[in-house]
Amino acid sequence: MFSLNGSSSPSIAVYGVSKSLTRRKIGAPLVVAAAASSNRSPGDGNVVLMENSLNVMRENAPAAPSPVTEKDSKSVVGGGVEDFYGEDDVSADQNVTPWAVTVASGYPLLRDPRYNKGLSFNEKERDGHFLRGLLPPVVISQDLQVKKMMHNIRQYQVPLQRYMAMMDLQERNERLFYKLLIDNVEELLPVVYTPTVGEACQKYGSIFRQPQGLFISLKEKGRILDVLKNWPEKKVQVIVVTDGERILGLGDLGCQGMGIPVGKLSLYTALGGIRPSECLPVTIDVGTNNEQLLNDEFYIGLRRKRATGQEYAELLHEFMCAVKQIYGEKVIIQFEDFANHNAFDLLAKYGSTHLVFNDDIQGTASVVLAGLMAALKLVGGTLADHSFLFLGAGEAGTGIADLIALQISKQTGAPLEEARRKIWLVDSKGLIVRSRIDSLQHFKRPWAHEHEPVDNLLDAVKAIKPTVLIGSSGAGRTFTKEVVQAMASYNKKPVILALSNPTSQSECTAEEAYMWSEGRAIFASGSPFAPVEYNGKFYASGQSNNAYIFPGFGLGLIISGAIRVHDDMLLAASEALAAQVSQENLEKGLLYPPFANIRKISAQIAAKVAAKVYELGLATRLPQPQNLVEYAESSMYSPRYHNYR
């Protein structure tokens, strides 16, 4: 898109263009006035004078044999429309300039998702912005638009169709999209994110319509700084980046993993209040080892095997350096759905130089720890009084285990090594024990305790007799009836967390957990499940969803001006979330508060995280606000429409 002023600031609403613009040929430089909308921060100028660059572009363009300005005034294209730019006279092998001069008035305003209000433009705005006749005469409120959109979305029976309807709305009316999502978060969260986003990624090539982020591939190696400059927004606060190698529990989806950064950042805005213009989704395309995608004619990524080793590391390093150079030290870089071998290395390599956060490792750990803190109110005791058995020893499993051990160590004063002895992990080869240590990946070795080898989960449950069973394996239906019954035989109230996404990969369903434990299980899952009736009692299972943590966590980093992430900030987020779980929630079987209150919950989390940032001396936004909760709430983006001059 050609910008009139050479800038792409999201805060500029251009108006005041003469109606005659559409009736004459473009000749002399067009000068228009632009007013800053109320989105702009205090201190920004209210009026920016902008001059287009048509003459500059004409001067730099090669000379044409028949200048546009000298064309016969009678020359027309089909329909009697004058061909100002001569595009209909060129042959297929000649180049033309893709002119696109956009001002926020008239038809372009209706096509600008940032400022479009649809039928909510009032009478004054329709006159002032040349919309009269371009819209039906009725004027409706944004709330009625939300009601209408929800009615339409509910007509779709297929979740992917609902997802596509939401993405279409986001591309044509940004504020209505976020208003709709915020007001109906419990119903729409599974649509814009897990589990539906998994299917969307699998079919991303087929449903791809408009790019919603930056695609950086091996083709751009050595030019990533220039690629980042192509992004229209100059102020970015949060980047979510993936290489698509481990999308949810679905494996390597290559370039089609872009649905994950897009979905995550939608939640950063809807749940955490980060401005959409300050969010940047990125996919690093280094190829894919998914043969099905490589043979798919609709696949949108590089058709090559996945790069590894030095080639991969150099591309990622160039990206990290370029991001810091363009957006500064305080931009949050969230790693998402990288394979284990890269996820841990990237977090360790850049944790001391960048503001990095891995949601699969750290976000999952924080939200699960919060659920366990809430569960203690039902089962009694402290974390140190319980034993934990994990199925899955990858990013999520070891990340959760690390944070649980850290919390136990802080609560008891015991060394971290001693706290780890309360925690056992099972991987694809069985219980992780000391005799296997030479063959273990580095991130599994701290969990190799002295014990005889155990080959499978059921035998591990019988040997360890844990009070808490946590699934992060990505392998569906692995909490079998025998496993759940064994847990119930050792515990009056067994805590069972089936965290893998999407729903098809969940270790067990809510119904299975409650039925097989005779209604005694304290259950939560990564994907949502409907309430379950057992012996005349209804059980509403909680969803251990990272969306409880990362939006508020990110907001806390932003409002404090944090420059690094520290584990103590994750603990603070867990404690803040657990404190939001009421006794009424617990009585219903919920280990997490309702998502309907998520913005208030995010503000509480942001305040606790920000307080910890200040305490650790990692804040740059000084002085510290007196009331961090109020400050967090006041910093949140509002999707309500603004009135235009």
pLDDT of residue 23: 37
pLDDT of residue 502: 82
Binding residue numbers for a divalent metal cation = 336-337, 360
The Cα-based distances of 423 to 229, 404, 426, 507, 645 in angstroms read 46, 9, 10, 19, 61
pLDDT of residue 97: 59
For residue 316, give the amino acid letter. L
Q: Which two tokens stand for residue 469?
A: 């069973």
pLDDT of residue 89: 55
Confidence category of residue 463, pLDDT binned at 50, 70, 90: very high
The Cα-based distances of 487 to 377, 500, 638 in angstroms read 19, 19, 46
pLDDT of residue 82: 52
- For 410, half-sphere exposure in the C-beta direction (CA atoms, 13 angstrom radius) is 10
DSSP 8-state secondary structure symbol assigned to residue 265:
H
Find, among 390, 359, 356, the residue nearest to 372 by Cα.
Answer: 390
What's the first-to-final CA gap in the chain, in angstroms? 24
Tell me how far apart the alpha carbons of residues 504 and 494 are, in angstroms, rounded to a whole number: 23
Tell me if 435 sits within 8 A of 428, measured CB to CB.
no
pLDDT of residue 62: 47
Q: 3-class SS at 624?
A: coil
DSSP 8-state secondary structure symbol assigned to residue 642:
P
Tell me if 457 sits within 8 A of 430, measured CB to CB.
no
Given a cut of 60, whether residue 212 has pLDDT beyond it is: yes
DSSP 8-state secondary structure symbol assigned to residue 354:
S
The least confident of 69-73, 101-105, 177-181, 568-572 is: 69-73
Tell me if 16 sits within 8 A of 109, measured CB to CB.
no
Comparing 369 with 37, the larger pLDDT belongs to 369
pLDDT of residue 486: 98
DSSP 8-state secondary structure symbol assigned to residue 504:
G
Contacts of 220 (CB under 8 A, 6+ apart): 227
For residue 374, give the amino acid letter. A
DSSP string for 417-483: HHHHTTEEEEETTEE-BGGGGGGS-TTTGGG-BS-----SHHHHHHHH--SEEEE-SS-TT-S-HHH
DSSP 8-state secondary structure symbol assigned to residue 362:
I
Given a cut of 70, whether residue 620 has pLDDT beyond it is: yes
The Cα-based distances of 330 to 5, 239, 617 in angstroms read 27, 11, 14
pLDDT of residue 248: 85
Enumerate long-range contacts of 594-601, CB under 8 Å, 24 or more apart: 594/186, 595/185, 595/186, 595/189, 595/543, 595/545, 595/547, 596/185, 596/186, 598/185, 598/271, 598/547, 598/548, 598/551, 599/182, 599/271, 599/273, 599/633, 599/636, 600/633, 601/548, 601/552, 601/577
pLDDT of residue 14: 37
* Strands ordered across the beta sheet of 356-358: 214-217, 279-285, 238-242, 332-335, 356-358
Q: For residue range 622-645, what is the model confidence (pLDDT) as tens digits?
A: 999 999 999 999 999 999 999 988
pLDDT of residue 601: 98
The Cα-based distances of 214 to 78, 239, 255, 338, 632 in angstroms read 37, 10, 11, 17, 29
Angle between helices 567-578 and 395-412 (to 10 degrees): 80
Catalytic amino acids?
A: 193, 264
Neighbours of 255 (CB within 10 A): 25
- With vertex at residue 93, the alpha carbon angle to CA 91 and CA 95, rounded to the nearest 5 degrees, is 90
Fold equal for 142-354 and 362-545: yes
76-77/47-51 β-pairing: unpaired
For residue 202, give the amino acid letter. Q
Given a cut of 80, whether residue 39 has pLDDT beyond it is: no
Contacts of 558 (CB under 8 A, 6+ apart): 237, 238, 274, 330, 332, 635
Contacts of 77 (CB under 8 A, 6+ apart): 83, 88
Angle between helices 395-412 and 340-350 (to 10 degrees): 50
Neighbours of 100 (CB within 10 A): 9
Q: Average pLDDT in the 317-346 region? A: 96
Comparing 135 with 81, the larger pLDDT belongs to 135
Cβ-in-10-Å burial (0-12, 13-18, 19+) of 162 comes to buried
State the average pLDDT for the chain: 87
pLDDT of residue 64: 44
Q: For residue range 576-619, what is the model confidence (pLDDT) as tens digits?
A: 999 999 999 998 889 999 999 999 999 999 999 999 999 999 99
Find, among 216, 440, 418, 446, the residue nearest to 315 by Cα.
Answer: 216
- % of the chain exceeding 70 in pLDDT: 84
For residue 410, give the amino acid letter. K
Tell me how far apart the alpha carbons of residues 456 and 453 are, in angstroms, rounded to a whole number: 10
Radius of gyration of the chain (CA): 27
pLDDT of residue 105: 87
pLDDT of residue 86: 53
Given a cut of 60, whether residue 56 has pLDDT beyond it is: no
Given a cut of 60, whether residue 492 has pLDDT beyond it is: yes
Q: Domain limits of the chain?
A: 12-116, 142-354, 362-545, 548-581+594-634
Tell me how far apart the alpha carbons of residues 303 and 289 are, in angstroms, rounded to a whole number: 9
pLDDT of residue 194: 86
Given a cut of 50, whether residue 454 has pLDDT beyond it is: yes
Given a cut of 50, whether residue 291 has pLDDT beyond it is: yes
The predicted model scores a pTM of 0.84
pLDDT of residue 469: 98
Q: For residue range 346-385, what is the model confidence (pLDDT) as tens digits?
A: 999 999 999 999 999 999 999 999 999 999 999 999 999 9
Confidence category of residue 104, pLDDT binned at 50, 70, 90: confident
Find, among 401, 336, 335, the residue nearest to 366 by Cα.
Answer: 401
Q: Which CATH class is domain 362-545?
A: alpha beta
Q: Which two tokens stand for residue 201?
A: 């990624």
Given a cut of 90, whether residue 420 has pLDDT beyond it is: yes
Given a cut of 80, whether residue 7 has pLDDT beyond it is: no
The least confident of 52-56, 112-116, 151-155, 308-312 is: 52-56
DSSP string for 100-134: -B--SSHHHHHT-TTT--GGG--HHHHHHTT-TTT
pLDDT of residue 377: 95
Helix residue ranges, H only, 173-258 = 174-183, 185-192, 196-202, 204-207, 224-230
CATH no., domain 142-354: 3.40.50.10380
The least confident of 52-56, 322-326, 435-439 is: 52-56
pLDDT of residue 18: 37
